[in-house]
């Protein structure tokens, strides 16, 4: 059985969303998100850097959400959630898939980390503002690319939308007033998917 170790609202949302879209069976194991538990030997045995999510199956354990998504895509073929490797838009698909976590989620993660590490009076406001500005640049790049399209590759929903969708969800939580207006139709379109609604509630 596929197990997804998860905390509501965190990156395991991507993995649950994908399983729902693909019809893959899974079990959610809710974990204690306290720093103390995430530092415990029990949790570090599953995720050596103390983060979530973790996914396990008969083959072993993974602790990087994009790798989990890619693994599930490759192990559950045929599926329609990634273009064929020979397709013209395969490179574009890879770009947005990776961009979601490597470039867009990075400054957002720094805002979260800064908030956790420094209490209000120690917060360095220009640092947070700089990270927000970097995230907005990324959101704008997504918004510009999806203008006039339903999904990042056009009419076809792919796992790149799942990767991006979670990062946009994170941006909405952290910098709600700075989401570019022309990103909203795409984001609303993603939010209308039942699979995302199930994943957000999990």
Ligand X SMILES: N[C@@H](CCC(=O)N[C@@H](CS)C(=O)NCC(=O)O)C(=O)O
Task: Compute the least distance from the CB of residue 155 to ligand X, in Å.
Answer: 27
Task: Compute the least distance from the CB of residue 169 to ligand X, in Å.
Answer: 10
Footprint (CB under 6 A) of ligand X, residues 62-121? 64-66, 101, 109
Q: What distance in Å separates the CA atoms of residue 33 and residue 47, rounded to the nearest whole number?
A: 13
CB 148 within 8 A of CB 154: no
| Of 65 and 82, CB closest to ligand X | 65
- Give the strands of the sheet with 60-62, arranged side by side: 27-30, 3-6, 54-57, 60-62
DSSP string, 118-178: S-GGG--HHHHHHHHHHHHHHHHHHHHHHTT-SBTTBSS--HHHHHHHHHHHHHHHH-GGG
Task: Compute the least distance from the CB of residue 6 to ligand X, in Å.
Answer: 10
| Of 57 and 89, CB closest to ligand X | 57
Number of residues near ligand X (by CB under 6 A): 9
Is there binding between residue 52 and ligand X (CB under 6 A)? Answer: yes
Query: Cβ atoms within 10 A of the Cβ of 119, count?
Result: 8
Is there binding between residue 161 and ligand X (CB under 6 A)? Answer: no
CA distances from 18 to 6, 8, 26, 58 (A): 14, 15, 11, 19
Is there binding between residue 28 and ligand X (CB under 6 A)? Answer: no
Stretch in the footprint of ligand X (CB under 6 A) among 23-31, 60-68, 118-126, 144-152: 60-68
Is there binding between residue 165 and ligand X (CB under 6 A)? Answer: no
| Site for ligand X, rule CB under 6 A | 10-11, 51-52, 64-66, 101, 109
């Amino acid at each position: 059985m596929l197990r997804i170790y998860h905390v509501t609202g965190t990156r395991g949302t991507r993995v649950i969303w994908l399983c729902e879209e693909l019809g893959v069976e899974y079990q959610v194991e809710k974990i204690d998100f306290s720093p103390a538990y995430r530092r415990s030997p029990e949790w570090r045995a599953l995720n050596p850097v103390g983060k979530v999510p973790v996914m396990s199956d008969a083959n072993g354990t993974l602790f990087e959400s994009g790798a989990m998504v890619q693994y599930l895509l490759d192990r559950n073929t045929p599926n329609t959630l990634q273009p064929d490797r020979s397709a013209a838009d395969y490179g574009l698909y890879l770009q947005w898939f990776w961009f979601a976590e490597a470039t867009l989620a990075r400054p957002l993660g720094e805002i979260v980390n800064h908030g956790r590490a420094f209490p209000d009076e120690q917060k360095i406001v220009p640092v947070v503002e700089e990270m927000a500005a970097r995230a907005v640049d990324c959101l704008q790049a997504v918004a510009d690319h999806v203008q006039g399209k339903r999904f990042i590759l056009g009419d076809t929903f792919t796992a790149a939308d799942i990767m991006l969708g979670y990062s946009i969800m994170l941006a909405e939580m952290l910098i709600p007033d700075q989401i570019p207006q022309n990103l909203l139709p795409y984001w609303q379109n993603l939010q209308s998917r039942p699979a995302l609604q199930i994943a957000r509630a999990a």
